[in-house]
Amino acid sequence: MLIKFLILFAIAAFAPRVFPGIKVKTMGTAAMIAVVFGVFNFLFGWLLGLAVGVLSLPLIIVSVGLFVLLIPTVVNAILLKLTDYLLEDFELAGWWPAIGMGLLFSLGGWLGNTLAG
């Protein structure tokens, strides 16, 4: 769990340098992003994943299953927008920065699972 937190913290601190439209004021804010996102992901991530999966079933069929790879990114983007809503020193200027940061969080989650498991 500590490894995943550190990965999310590093991504939250690094993402504003990669994607315009993401503002993280301090390193403390990056730590809060990691904590709040982690709690949201634990509480609501599974439900959002299920809902997005069911709603995107036509896209999954048309793409011969490839859209399944994007579901974690979409779920992370939604959770990041909720995190943005709660934290004053964190700003996402629209959905594209949220999707970009969601993709980084998805890759970070994969890395965390690989290292921890």
Per the confidence metrics, is the pTM higher than 0.95? no
φ, ψ (nearest 5 deg) of residue 24: -125, 115
Cβ contact 34:8 at 8 Å: yes
- The predicted structure's pLDDT at residue 69: 87
- The predicted structure's pLDDT at residue 64: 87
Q: Which residue has tokens 């315009």?
A: 20
pLDDT band of residue 116 (cuts 50, 70, 90) is confident
Q: pLDDT tens digits, residue range 7-42? A: 999 999 999 999 999 999 999 999 999 999 999 999
pLDDT band of residue 67 (cuts 50, 70, 90) is confident
- The predicted structure's pLDDT at residue 1: 82
- Average pLDDT estimate for 93-105: 96
Is the dihedral angle over the CA atoms 39, 109, 80, 90 positive or is it negative? Answer: positive
Tell whether the model's pLDDT for residue 88 goes beyond 70.
yes
Tell whether the model's pLDDT for residue 117 goes beyond 70.
no
More confident residue, 22 or 66: 22
- The predicted structure's pLDDT at residue 65: 85
**What distances in angstroms separate CA 86 from CA 29, 35, 51, 79, 83, one per listed residue?**
12, 12, 22, 11, 5
